[in-house]
Copies of this chain bind each other. A is one copy, B any other.
Amino acid sequence: MFEAAELGKTLSKREYDKLQPRLQETLLEAHLEIKKAGLPVIIIISGVSGSGKAELLHRLNEWLDPRGVDTHAMWQESDEEEERPLYWRYWRRMPAKGRVGIFLGSWYTKPIVDRVYGRNKKRDPRDAMDRVRAMEEMLSNDGALIIKLWFHRSRASQKTNLKSLSRNPKKKWRVRPADWENFRRFDDFMRISEDALRHTDSGSAPWHVVDAFDRRYRELTSGQIILQSIQDRLKALPKREPVNLPPAFTVKVKGRGPDTILDAVDLRQRLNEREYEKLLKEHQAELSRLVWQSNKRGRSSVIVFEGWDAAGKGSAIRRVTGAMDPRLYQVIPVAAPTDEERAHHYLWRFWRNIPRDGKLVIFDRSWYGRVLVERVENFATPEEWQRAFLEINDFEEQLTEHQTMVTKFWLHISKDEQLRRFKERKATAAKRYKITEEDWRNRGRWDAYKLAVNEMVEHTSTGPAPWTLVAGNDKKFARIQILRTLCENLRRGL
């Protein structure tokens, strides 16, 4: 879930100085409406240590009306708190209706830290997350708006960060010994945090992972997320109170660095014919071996292909299946649902096609349609596609718990390359059937799809079922990347 926040985005001082006053102004207006509407707002700031969480807390106190804000830096439990059930300390700090409560450190901290350090083994740590979910659902049912921010830094940037802070005499105090101790367990922290986020990424209280590399970028992005969440909620309120919507102004925080995780894919990667033929042969041979082996061990696989129109899904799938015994696999092309499928929950058609032990199913498009085409084309309501992240993660968790190996590919190409291929198809009689009006329409919504793909990866690229972004401008390179990834995943899983 964190890959999309490892782009190291930055924002220039000039840009910041231009946007910041407008953001502040709109936030202040939004804050006024919160009071009028009697809306309790809970803002949770979490993430890796030393990533600027406390700085944001200060900033929010500048941006909002401090008379309406309660700030809670949750530190050690007091003895008053230790002598009561765990959640007492949070309940006593709950914001009243019309107030904003900002929590630095929250009900997430203790379960995550306990699990990293192997404390509190008595209870399944996932249990703690289910309690969190129940708690947030309860508050949300009661009308509270819950905004959850996760500040992320990559391992490398975190190391540089801690080192440079330690060297700076003025900032040295900010690094506690615990921060280095935590850094030694960085990978554990990430794995366990991801698990925690995944189980609490609900429609009513979704997570927002923020690239925390640069102060200006992360603060403005956080402010923008908070503003957007408040605006969305105010809009959805029943029209009892005379609440005015703050101006629909949204700050476009672009920042330097790749715009989305898709832009970070190096599309210049290519293979020449000779390399390609050689690697194809090698990888197909290995894949064939691995698929037989997983059959013998009774292990099943699910492989998902998603990607831009004309990105080469079909031909890539043929290179994959070319290496397999037809008795072992099945390809499920996913188009518009049948009548029967439409009469069921959207996941039903995919459950139908789950492989038996030892078999392999390739989905040519998949359940991710819910958060891609259905989202962009408004076939699903925001509420529906937002809660789909949790539903999909739960679905894939059930697969991986059953020891099914899950591999997911997004075939990425540039917008120019897509145009080139569309034109080529139009010109080639045999390929003309492959290009439709719809393809051109989808192309018109490229940016909306890009945003949706980015969020899809942010919310559903998980430890047990990660996404692989394929550099697809060169079909040969793409096919080899797919075969290689697949072999690696099977090898690791077996």
Contact = CB atoms under 8 A, between A and B. Distances in A.
Interface string A354-367: 11111000000000
Given A80-B356, A352-B91, A344 B86 contact: no
A130 B300 CA distance: 25
A249 interface: no
A87 B398 contact: yes
Contacts of A130: 126-127, 130
A215 interface: no
Interface in A71-97: 80, 83-88, 91-92, 94, 96-97
A396 to B, nearest CB: 10
Interface in A332-372: 340, 343-348, 351-352, 354-358
A141 B202 CA distance: 13
Count of this chain's copies in the oligomeric assembly: 2
Given A98-B343, A130-B130, A138-B345, A351 B91 contact: yes
A86 B351 CA distance: 11
A85 B401 contact: yes
Nearest to A143: B345
A394 interface: yes
Contacts of A387: 141
A399 B85 contact: yes
A357 B38 CA distance: 35
Contacts of A398: 85-87, 131
Nearest to A97: B343
Contacts of A344: 40, 94, 96-97
B139 A83 contact: no
A222 B26 CA distance: 55
A10 to B, nearest CB: 39
Given A83-B357, A398-B86, A402-B85, A345 B139 contact: yes
A123 B402 CA distance: 13
A285 interface: no
A391 interface: yes
A201 to B, nearest CB: 12
A196 to B, nearest CB: 14
Contacts of A91: 347-348, 351-352
Interface in A391-429: 391, 394, 398-399, 401-402, 404
A331 interface: no
Contact of A88 (B124, B141, B142, B354): B354
Interface in A222-279: none
A223 B298 CA distance: 45
B142 A352 contact: no
B391 A138 contact: yes
A133 to B, nearest CB: 8
Contacts of A394: 131, 134, 138
A347 B126 CA distance: 24
Interface of A: 38, 40, 80, 83-88, 91-92, 94, 96-98, 123-124, 126-127, 130-131, 134, 138-139, 141-142, 144, 298, 300, 340, 343-348, 351-352, 354-358, 387, 390-391, 394, 398-399, 401-402, 404
Given A86-B398, A96-B343, A97-B343, 18 more contacts: A40-B344, A80-B356, A84-B300, A84-B354, A85-B354, A85-B398, A85-B402, A87-B351, A96-B340, A98-B343, A124-B124, A127-B127, A134-B394, A138-B345, A138-B391, A138-B394, A139-B345, A144-B345
14 contacts: A83-B300, A83-B358, A85-B402, A85-B404, A88-B354, A91-B348, A91-B351, A94-B348, A97-B343, A124-B124, A126-B127, A134-B394, A138-B345, A141-B387
